[in-house]
Structure 1
Amino acid sequence: MKKAATYSLIVLTTVAAAGAFMRAMPWLQVDLSFEKIRHAHSHLGFLGWLFSAYILVLLRMFLPKEKAWSRDKQQLFYAALVTAVLMFPAFWLWGYKAPAVALLTLHSLLAWVLLVKIWRQASVPGKPSGWFLKAAIFFFFLSSLGPFAIPFIQVFGDGSPVSVRLAVHFYLHFQYSGWFVFGFLAMLYRFLEIQGGMIPHRVAAIHQGIAGAATAPLYILTAPALNDSLSSVYQHLSWLIDSAPWWQLAAMLLFLFFAWRQWPGKQVSTAWPGVFALSILTIKVLLEWLVFLPPFSNFIDPGNHFLIITYLHLLFLGMATPAVWWMYGGLGWLPADRPAFGWWGSCFLTGFVITEGLLLAMGLGWATAWFTEGLLAGAVLMLAGVGGVLVLQMKPESEVLPEAKGMMNPIELP
């Protein structure tokens, strides 16, 4: 599985290179469509890199060893990976046209089959991590309804731009706040279970129930616009929907309290990518609470383009990517014991912080000098970081120490 992890990191490096190229386009003066490149970049990112990486970690951590990388899993995994990689030139050349849509549909079908196998073969009966795993898979299936709804909206529905935007938002919301978040929480709960730091079942059930129940109302709250149907739903259930950020925050604080108490050996300092990812998830929950709380709600527009990009990057680059690196290190797929990993990881995170700060400032309407130059600098730093991590990961086994001391104790799987 380490070879498959290498391929996923190659994809991540390609995503970072495309991001740096996009930020350099104002100076390159190339006759290319920024929108097409952006679609190619984003789809390769969350389907080529993150979906593949999540699948590898979930397979290894939740399935028996003899089933985790069986022949059928390998075939499905590589078919999905190749399909996602082919989306890159398809979106780059044609945008959202037939070739890219066909590949996106094929990837969804392959992903469904693979996730059903994980659901059925997961070997964690009665464990909270299994609950979060199934919730993550459910949200992935739910998010897939968004893209499939677009042709029906255009052919059989009103075809309005608002309805199409709501379908796209449906997909992104349940991917990022559902699949990404609950997938990370499943890994985190599983890690604690393996290390002997079990969170009480009642606490885990409350956490999952409240966080899961809050995800649907947050779709309406964060929607860029509402059509007549959703406006009617909001009018009748506004008291319930408006309280969703409060439930989510309460559930997150409850989890953090018990996770800290159960963390094995309190080794927070040696698990910095995981701690960073968990910190970003906490920030995400706090932001979704603050943005609808007066006086912040008076000047923050959730539909602002720059704030949306800030939010998507927050979860993709700040939470999910470090979380995967953390798991890769614990599983022995990354040489996390080497000081160079910390250097390259810090390089990536520095670029991430610069980019997020600039996008946030622009989204809040604060004039920012050197905005374009700053975004390019951040993108180059992130490219250097992921490229360095890839080079480290590809070094011969003899140059890698057996224990991942730089991130956490190795994950001793049964």
Structure 2
Amino acid sequence: MALDKTFGRYQWQVILFCFVLAAFTGVLFRLGMLIPLPGELSLQNIRHAHSHLMFFGWAAALPLLIMYGKVKLLLEGKNRGLKMMYWSLWAILLFGLLSYPFFLLFGYHPVPVATTSMPLSVIFSGLVLIGWYLFVAGYLLVRKEVSEEDRNPWFEAALVMLVVSSFGAWGVAVAQFMNLANPLVGKALTHFFLACFTEGWVVLSTIAILDELFEFSFDSLPFSAATLSALILLGAPLTFPYGISESLLTTPMLLTARVGGLITGVSLCLVGYTMLRNEELPKPIILWPLALLLLKGVMQVVASVIPSGFWLSDHALRIFYLHVLLLGGFTLAGVAYLHKLSKLDIRSFTGVALSIVIVLVSLLFLTRLWPVAWSGMWVYYVVSGAAILPAVALGAEWWKLSTKSVQISNEGTEG
């Protein structure tokens, strides 16, 4: 079935554009460590632009689009809730893209507007969050028309985590407005948002996409899919202290993070184990994202039991961990879904997967796991060069998906 017939002609293409733009922004960030940046650009603002567009335009929008496409096919008709889901997706993409240049040029700082100044990046980000709420409201309107067996518990749990994560984002805005002196408050709220979004929304969405690719049975486990998703819902918010500087962490906060990490990590490993055991697993297209999702789960379990000093002070190792999930498991699961829907040749997907694996390996060169004696300036050149590969590979995949979608649509018209 063509992507255009499932989702419409433009939304999935805008989402892929967001990934490519965010990826090239990440390349700019890496290059900024080696050469002078043009104009008034700063590394911090480039990083904000990269992460926010990757979050809003890719990691949040793609699962919502897949959920919308599924409901649209199930209902096969006009529906008020379905329209809300559709237009809220456009709002999310529009305001996510509008926030990009302001994050790139100004970060969180106010922008001169007429006789006043306004933090436009923050305002547009807030409008993205409102778009999330509208999508959830639209889904709740159509949910009663979707049979229980057609509902995906992973997607529904992910929606809960998306809404919960937004509370942290609003809290950061309130803390800035009130000019709170305690730095721990702002950091805690920021990382509460990040923990709920990455460890909750992204993890659950990745599992949901893989489950949509191939329906897995959890009958062999003492835990159902609903129980495992509930455990991830419980554990993800507890991991927020992991992102806070070690000097600001208290013993209870670290213990809370360890418990949350164990709950989510073990649950994720059980999910991955169940999926891998299935003899009818459609290899190799699903094996790439599943392997990286399992790696993420194992890393989380290990981090929850080893001494915190090993990795809390290693920022590069935390960046690697985040990319294993977002660039690795999640992105490859999403691309696999689009790829399978368009029935593309496996070689183009393999190219995307290899480009991502190369980036992940290059990021290891910046961590303590790579011997200091083997390091040097060459490492930064390798990391910068590798960062270009996913942007180019997914750009090529985007072109192939567009071409294939047009071909399928034309064949349907001729038929």
Superposition TM-score tier, normalisation by shorter sequence: 0.7 to 0.9
**Cα-to-partner distance string for 1:276-325 (whole Å, 9 max, x where unaligned):** 2222221112112212324xx26523253323322222221011111111
- How far apart are 1:225 and its partner, in Å? 5.0
Mapped partners of 2:18, 2:270: distance in 1: 36
**Secondary structure at the counterpart of residue 320 of structure 1:** helix
**Alignment partner, residue 252 of structure 1:** 268
107, 122, 129: which one pairs with 1:108? 129
Amino acid at match of 1:348: S
Change (3 A) 1:392 1:29: same
316, 328, 331: which one pairs with 2:338? 328
Amino acid at match of 2:235: A
Mapped partners of 1:226, 1:167: distance in 2: 17
Change (3 A) 1:214 1:72: closer
* Residues 82 and 138 in structure 2, CA contact (< 8 A), matched pair in contact too: no
147, 168, 173: which one pairs with 2:195? 173
Residues paired across the two proteins, number: 385
- How far apart are 1:355 and its partner, in Å? 3.4
- How far apart are 1:241 and its partner, in Å? 5.9
Q: TM-score, normalised by structure 2?
A: 0.81
**Secondary structure at the counterpart of residue 66 of structure 1:** coil
Q: How does 1:116-127 map to 2 (within 5 A)?
A: 116-122=137-143, 125-127=147-149
Amino acid at match of 2:320: T
* Residues 344 and 401 in structure 2, CA contact (< 8 A), matched pair in contact too: no
- How far apart are 1:160 and its partner, in Å? 1.8
- How far apart are 1:175 and its partner, in Å? 0.5
359, 364, 372: which one pairs with 2:380? 372
Amino acid at match of 1:291: A
Amino acid at match of 1:73: M
* Residues 53 and 100 in structure 2, CA contact (< 8 A), matched pair in contact too: yes
Change (3 A) 1:347 1:131: closer
* Residues 234 and 241 in structure 1, CA contact (< 8 A), matched pair in contact too: yes
**Cα-to-partner distance string for 1:123-169 (whole Å, 9 max, x where unaligned):** 65444963222211111111111121124334557432222111111
**Secondary structure at the counterpart of residue 304 of structure 2:** coil
Q: How does 1:231-310 map to 2 (within 5 A)?
A: 231=250, 234=253, 238=255, 242-262=258-278, 265-269=280-284, 271=285, 274-294=286-306, 297=307, 299-310=309-320
**Alignment partner, residue 24 of structure 1:** 31
* Residues 112 and 141 in structure 1, CA contact (< 8 A), matched pair in contact too: yes
**Secondary structure at the counterpart of residue 185 of structure 1:** helix
**Alignment partner, residue 412 of structure 1:** none
Q: How does 1:9-408 map to 2 (within 5 A)?
A: 9-25=16-32, 26-31=34-39, 32-63=41-72, 64=74, 65-66=76-77, 70-97=82-109, 98-122=119-143, 125-127=147-149, 130-154=152-176, 156=178, 158-193=180-215, 197-200=216-219, 202-221=223-242, 223-225=244-246, 231=250, 234=253, 238=255, 242-262=258-278, 265-269=280-284, 271=285, 274-294=286-306, 297=307, 299-332=309-342, 336-337=344-345, 339-343=347-351, 345-361=352-368, 368-369=375-376, 370-395=378-403, 397=405
Structure 1: state its 5+ residue gaps.
Answer: 403-414
* Residues 40 and 88 in structure 1, CA contact (< 8 A), matched pair in contact too: yes
* Residues 128 and 189 in structure 1, CA contact (< 8 A), matched pair in contact too: no
Mapped partners of 1:10, 1:223: distance in 2: 32
Amino acid at match of 1:318: G
**Secondary structure at the counterpart of residue 210 of structure 2:** helix
Mapped partners of 1:282, 1:340: distance in 2: 23
* Residues 16 and 386 in structure 1, CA contact (< 8 A), matched pair in contact too: no
Change (3 A) 1:153 1:382: same
* Residues 235 and 260 in structure 2, CA contact (< 8 A), matched pair in contact too: yes
Structure 2: state its 5+ residue gaps.
Answer: 1-6, 110-118, 411-415
Mapped partners of 1:222, 1:128: distance in 2: 37
- How far apart are 1:107 and its partner, in Å? 0.9
**Secondary structure at the counterpart of residue 171 of structure 2:** helix
- How far apart are 1:209 and its partner, in Å? 3.1
Mapped partners of 2:322, 2:391: distance in 1: 18
Amino acid at match of 1:83: F
Mapped partners of 1:249, 1:221: distance in 2: 14
Mapped partners of 2:335, 2:355: distance in 1: 12
* Residues 137 and 179 in structure 1, CA contact (< 8 A), matched pair in contact too: yes
Mapped partners of 2:253, 2:406: distance in 1: 60
* Residues 61 and 190 in structure 1, CA contact (< 8 A), matched pair in contact too: no
What is the aligned-residue identity percentage?
19
- How far apart are 1:5 and its partner, in Å? 1.0
Mapped partners of 1:29, 1:217: distance in 2: 38
Q: TM-score, normalised by structure 1?
A: 0.82
Mapped partners of 1:77, 1:290: distance in 2: 37
Moved more, 100-109 or 41-50: 41-50
* Residues 245 and 285 in structure 1, CA contact (< 8 A), matched pair in contact too: no
Mapped partners of 1:364, 1:121: distance in 2: 54
Mapped partners of 1:127, 1:92: distance in 2: 44
